[in-house]
Amino acid sequence: MTIPTTQRGVPEAAREQMPGSSDTFFEMDQRKNALLATLAHELRNPLAPIKNGLQLLALMSLSEEAEVVRSMMVRQVEQIVHLVDDLLDVARIGSGKLALDKQICTISAVVKSAIEESAILISENQMTLELIDTSQAACVCGDLCRLTQIVCNLLNNSAKYGRSGGKILLELEVCDGSVIIRVKDDGIGIAADRLEDIFTMYSQIDSAHGRGLAGLGIGLALVRNLVELHGGLVEVESDGPERGSTFTVKLPLATGIVRENISSKETSNHSKRSFRVLVVDDMRAMRVVTEQLLQKLGHEVQIAENGEVALTKLDSFKPDVVFSDITMPVMSGHELARQVRNRTDLDSVCLVALTGYGQSSDRELAFEAGFDRHLTKPVSFQSILALFDELDRVKRDSLDGLALETGGFH
């Protein structure tokens, strides 16, 4: 479902100050969004093999010393990935293209994955996190990744602007048809006259930077946009500098949902089944690292550098899954998908687009060409495991005779 956002990227006041030039200003703003999207995409490409390479190293037996270095690199790469993702979201919001993939999810599950993502930053700053969850199995209708991003941004800010050695309190409750998420820290606090500003794109408070805290000043603007897209609101309270801050997110409660409907992502045990996987990418580093990572997970893997080579391997290797890049010389991923979908003997092959282009229009183009799934680089280890879990479930169901008649993945 695509929900257009408001055009916050083009401040009305700025347009008014430039009489007769609002169109030019708008065009420049659109160009800036396009530049941000391209930049984020170009940064994602080299980040993907680096991230996969670090995951691969984790599966090898490293010395204690090497593991310390590897963990440090994982944290730094995660920070870059986070910044790149934020840049891309700014571009999406600016061009009104931010899409939500809504499902019913428990708020506890959202918060659990946000805590997992923020845990390293919190512990690096020697802070403790206390969770008080009285929400029971309360559900919201929303995009699991985006909801996680909201909570994660607030937790990361509390870790950044909280007191070193201090405490973060995360409270979940249900009140008057809303799910309330409250993130409270005992850190540097916010002056009363800056409380509203901080939700504006690129706004930062000088006192925070005096502490040498890097950032782009876009995290809270994204939080507010994402919360509003979910029909909710976000507020901040602080008794002033050095007196801590409390951020409160209110989201509409999804009612009448039974527990069985909740996403299987919350409950699955990871698959042990081995699949035949073909990896198609024109970037050698990406092919090699993905191949090795999948082999470590117990899958049989072959590689191809473009769609044409992939087609010949499809006949000889007969893969269950194809991970394919989109932009490649000789034959693109889209053309490969179209050719595969024209052949009935390849009906059961699961086609996964693995690409740096993550806009909703890119996903739609991939699905139109015949892909079953669309993953954006750099893909997390968790998404790869979740995909193989899903393939495993489909395979088991088809063996049990419960699958759809095609027995395929699409």
Closest distance to ligand ADP from the beta carbon of 236 (Å): 8
CB nearer to ligand ADP: give 217 or 407.
217
- How many Cα atoms sit within 13 Å of 206 on the Cβ side? 0
Q: Distances in Å between the alpha carbon of 373 and those of 151, 322, 352, 363?
A: 26, 10, 5, 9
Distance CA 272, CA 14 (A): 57
Q: Is 149 in the site for ligand ADP (CB under 6 A)?
A: no
Q: Nearest Cα to 203, choosing from 188, 216, 217?
A: 217
Q: Is 204 in the site for ligand ADP (CB under 6 A)?
A: yes
226 CB contacts (<8 Å, ≥6 apart)? Answer: 98, 146, 147, 149, 150
- Give the one residue of 175, 216, 233, 330 binding ligand ADP; rule: CB under 6 A: 216
Q: Is 245 in the site for ligand ADP (CB under 6 A)?
A: yes
- Give the one residue of 158, 306, 324, 359 binding ligand ADP; rule: CB under 6 A: 158
CB nearer to ligand ADP: give 247 or 371.
247
Near ligand ADP in 13-32, by CB under 6 A? none
Q: By 3-state DSSP, what share of the chain in percent is helix, strand and coil, each rounded to 5?
A: 50, 20, 35
What's the sign of the alpha-carbon dihedral 37, 43, 49, 50? negative
* 203 class by beta-carbon count within 10 Å (0-12 exposed, 13-18 middle, 19+ buried): middle
* Whether 352 contacts 325, CB under 8 Å: no
CB nearer to ligand ADP: give 194 or 341.
194
Q: Is 371 in the site for ligand ADP (CB under 6 A)?
A: no
Closest distance to ligand ADP from the beta carbon of 28 (Å): 23
> CB under 6 A: which stretch of 219-227, 288-296, 315-323, 333-341 binds ligand ADP?
219-227
- Give the one residue of 142, 219, 358, 370 binding ligand ADP; rule: CB under 6 A: 219
> CB under 6 A: which stretch of 105-113, 216-224, 249-257, 346-354 binds ligand ADP?
216-224
The residue with its CB nearest to ligand ADP is 215
Q: Is 198 in the site for ligand ADP (CB under 6 A)?
A: yes
CB nearer to ligand ADP: give 203 or 380.
203
- Give the one residue of 62, 77, 174, 205 binding ligand ADP; rule: CB under 6 A: 205
Instruction: Give the tokens for residue 49.
Output: 């093999």
Q: What is the 3-state secondary structure (H, E, C) of 274-328?
A: CCEEEEECCCHHHHHHHHHHHHHCCCEEEEECCHHHHHHHHHHHCCCEEEECCCC
Q: Is 208 in the site for ligand ADP (CB under 6 A)?
A: yes
Q: Give strand ranges (E) for 65-177.
A: 103-106, 128-133, 139-142, 167-175
Distance CA 129, CA 160 (A): 13
- Give the one residue of 185, 186, 281, 320 binding ligand ADP; rule: CB under 6 A: 185
Distance CA 203, CA 221 (A): 9
Closest distance to ligand ADP from the beta carbon of 292 (Å): 35
Q: Is 161 in the site for ligand ADP (CB under 6 A)?
A: yes
**Distance from the first to the final alpha carbon of the chain:** 19
Instruction: Give the tokens for residue 270.
Output: 């990871």
Q: Is 249 in the site for ligand ADP (CB under 6 A)?
A: no
Q: Is 170 in the site for ligand ADP (CB under 6 A)?
A: no
CB nearer to ligand ADP: give 124 or 347.
124
CA angle 4, 90, 74 (to 5 degrees): 125
Q: Is 114 in the site for ligand ADP (CB under 6 A)?
A: no
> CB under 6 A: which stretch of 96-104, 118-126, 156-164, 375-383 binds ligand ADP?
156-164
**Contact set with ligand ADP (CB under 6 A):** 157-158, 161, 185, 187-190, 198, 203-205, 208, 215-221, 245
